[in-house]
Amino acid sequence: MDRLGTLYRIGVCTAFVALAISLSGCSTRKAIKQQQLALLTSEYQYMSETNQALTATPNPETQSSMSVFISQDSLNAILKSADNYSADLPGIKGAVLTVHSVRLQFGDGFPGLNIDASAQKASIHASLRLQVYAVLEPSIAGDKIHFRIDVRKVVPEARWTFFQFRLRWFVKDLIQLKLAQYAQALPDLSVPLQQAFSIAGAQQDVPLILKTPSGQIDGIMTVPAYKASIALFVSKVLLLRDGIHIYLVATPNAERGVSSR
Amino acid sequence: MKSHLLCFLLLCFSSLSVAQSLDEQIKAKQTQIADLQLTLNPQVAPLLVTSNLRIWTSGNILALVGNQYNSQANKTVHYHETLQEGQLINSNGGGLGCGYYAELHDASGDITVPVVSATYQPDGSVLLQTSFQANVRGQVAAHMKGPAGPCSILHPWPTCDCPIGGGFGTSALATAIKGASISAIAKLSGDSASWLHYDLGQLSPPSMEVTISFSLEHVGDVGVVAPINLPQSSLAHGDAPNVFQGQGEIKIGAPVNFSKQFAVSVIPTAVVSDAQGYSVKASADISWHNK
């Protein structure tokens, strides 16, 4: 009798669990929160590093030869040209990724991005908004500043019931897709930046008058053309809420005039 | 029946507690960030820029660019005469009756500026100090005037104002050699054409004297002292090229299946020169090459 009772209890409990799962459904809410926490942790770390850097050097210009600032608005105006870009998602048959917009949303020290993207799969009538956790990675190469988007995690916003297994598989595929595949659908931006300070002046004729005891002699002085250039290199990049601050210093041999180009 | 309920509640609470724990962690992290932001605000505030672009150059590098003159190949300013008004000298009287007058022709020469020392000034200008050596040569055409004559019936006595004509001409080589210390100021400005424009002028001292020497037959060695008003307006001017010179690109995909090229022009809106350097706030004009 006791054995029958135990089996009955296990059966009822299992039924409760199955019922709870099938009725309550599943979602990516937890995964989204986990990524939100990871991004906040990352933001705090970036901010702490910026705090340390600014505590050590409150005004980086005091240790620089030149600085260049580009606002977020200017960079966002360029990024706007790539709005609503769509591409097939390799690895997920029939899936299309649409990147509605990518905008910089820097914090003080934090290279944050606001990416509005969605994934569609026509065969299951699914269109899922994607939470793309990414940061901007600026780097200098040649006479360009290059902005690459580092995708850290992509989680679709989805909720499904036990019986919507095709949607569940789509969500699983989106989560497991290699981050590089998402990165390939995001804009890669490079902005020209001359790493030199130079000036140039053309040859110029300047009138010169000699007053003589009985008249004057008019003449022309021909000042030769002048060109000078100091090679610079990027010593620090600071991302603040207003945009990107790039600090450059003269190369060590610039003062000897060797680096003029 | 109690165990059934316990099983269900356990399931519910375990998932709830995970979610609650995440929410708490997120909230705690947000509080940490807000606290750190309060520390950062006063550090960041002086660095924030309100314009699209800002370019700053230190006073040191501006002086360094001036000093690069010293490694230039051409350090010579060429001079040539264009016009003579009046005469170089007009001598009345003297041992030769009514004296002579001389004109300078085809004067030309070089002014060598071997070394320049540039210093950035607290007012945002660059002071250039140097010494020069000028060596100018020309041809003097002199005319020995004829004897004095009467100007009219009312003034019958001979005067050099009205020589009776005649006389003779002579020619000689003239030289003017001058060396002196001099300084100039390079003023910096920005406008729609350039974010940094320099204009070299304000030579100091503003004037100096030069002696034009020549030797005339029947007269001997002559030295004509001529004051020169040195140019105060632009002696030289030029620009710094666009910091964003070149082509930018936005592209997507590997291989690339979306690409647009653009150029960034700097349009200065405010210029500030101070003891630290020269800065320009500007708006960015983005022009697309392939729309």
Q: Does residue A6 fall inside a structural domain?
A: no
Closest partner residue to B49 among A47, A69, A220, by Cβ? A69
Question: Structural domain of residue A215, as residue ranges?
Answer: 196-256
Task: Looking at the complex, report in whole angstroms how far the Cα of residue B25 sits from the nearest Cα belonging to chain A.
Answer: 7
In a domain, B178, yes or no: yes
Please report which helix (H) or strand (E) contains residue B290, including its range: none
Strands A204-212 and B89-91: unpaired
**Is B151 inside a domain boundary?**
yes
Please tell me the predicted confidence (pLDDT) of residue B229. 86
CB A38, CB A153: distance < 8 Å: yes
Answer with the one of B239, B254, B271 that is the final residue of a domain: B239
**Which member of A74, A224, A240 has the closest CB to residue B48?**
A240
- Same domain for B136 and B248? no
pLDDT in the model for residue A257 = 41
Say if residue A176 is in the same domain as residue A240: no
**Yes or no, beta carbons of B87 and A212 under 8 Å apart:** yes
Specify the amino acid at residue B124.
Answer: G
pLDDT-based confidence at residue A259 (cuts at 50, 70, 90): very low
Asked whether residue A185 carries a pLDDT value surpassing 90, the answer given is yes
Q: Among A173, A192, A211, identify where a domain stops.
A: A192
The string of pLDDT tens digits covering residues B111-137 is: 999 999 999 999 999 999 999 999 999
Banded pLDDT at A77 (limits 50, 70, 90): very high
Residues A78 and A165 in one domain: yes
Instruction: Examine the domain organization and report whether A38 and A146 are in the same domain.
Output: yes
Residue A55's H or E segment, with its range, is helix A29-56
pLDDT of amino acid B4: 52
- Pairwise CB contact (< 8 Å): A67 & B56: yes
**Residue B195 domain flag:** yes
**In which residue are the tokens 């672009």 written?**
B53
**Residue A13 covered by a domain:** no
Interface contact A208-B257, CB threshold 8 A: no
Number of domains in chain B: 2
Domain count, chain A: 2
| Residue B169 lies inside a defined structural domain of this protein | yes
Average pLDDT of the residues of chain A: 89
Tokens 């002085």 locate to A221
pTM score of the predicted model:
0.84
Given a cut of 70, the residues of chain B with pLDDT beneath it are 1-19, 92-97, 165-166, 290-291
**Segment A51-64 mean pLDDT:** 96
User: Can you give the residue range of the structural domain that contains B118?
Assistant: 57-239
Mutate to test the interface with A, among B65, B128, B239, B283 (most CBs of A within 10 A): B65
Give the confidence band of A260 by pLDDT, cuts at 50, 70, 90: very low
Domain end position, chosen among A140, A169, A192: A192
The arithmetic mean of pLDDT across residues A155-174, rounded, is 88
A96 and A43 belong to one structural domain: yes
Same domain, B65 and B199: yes
Nearest to B104 among A107, A108, A217 (CB): A217
Would residue A9 count as lying in a domain? no
Distance CA B247, CA A145 (A): 11
Residue B78 shares a structural domain with residue B146:
yes
Q: Which two tokens stand for residue B217?
A: 């037959």
- Cis upstream peptide for B255 (omega within 30°): yes
Q: Is the pLDDT of residue A254 over 90?
A: no
Q: Give domain status of residue B277, yes or no.
A: yes
Q: Which of B4, B19, B246 sits opposite A143 (nearest CB)?
A: B246
A148 domain-assigned: yes
Burial class of residue B62, CB neighbours in 10 A (0-12, 13-18, 19+): buried
Indicate whether B266 belongs to any domain. yes
The CA–CA distances, whole Å, from A190 to A139, A144, A155, A239, B163 equal 9, 6, 28, 16, 82
Q: What confidence score (pLDDT) does residue B261 get? A: 97
Partner-chain contact A212 B250, CB within 8 Å = no
Instruction: pLDDT band for A256, please (50, 70, 90 cuts).
Output: very low
Statement to judge: residues A175 and A210 lie in one domain: no
Distance CA B166, CA B161 (A): 14
Please report which confidence band the pLDDT of residue A1 belongs to, taking 50, 70 and 90 as the band edges: low
Q: Which residues, at least 6 apart from A30, have a Cβ–Cβ distance to it below 8 Å?
A: B18, B19, B22
Q: For residues A90 and A215, state if they share a domain.
A: no
Say if the Cβ atoms of B80 and A220 lie within 8 Å. yes
Same domain, B110 and B231: yes
A5, part of any domain:
no
Which residue of A lies nearest to B15 if distances are taken between CA atoms?
A30
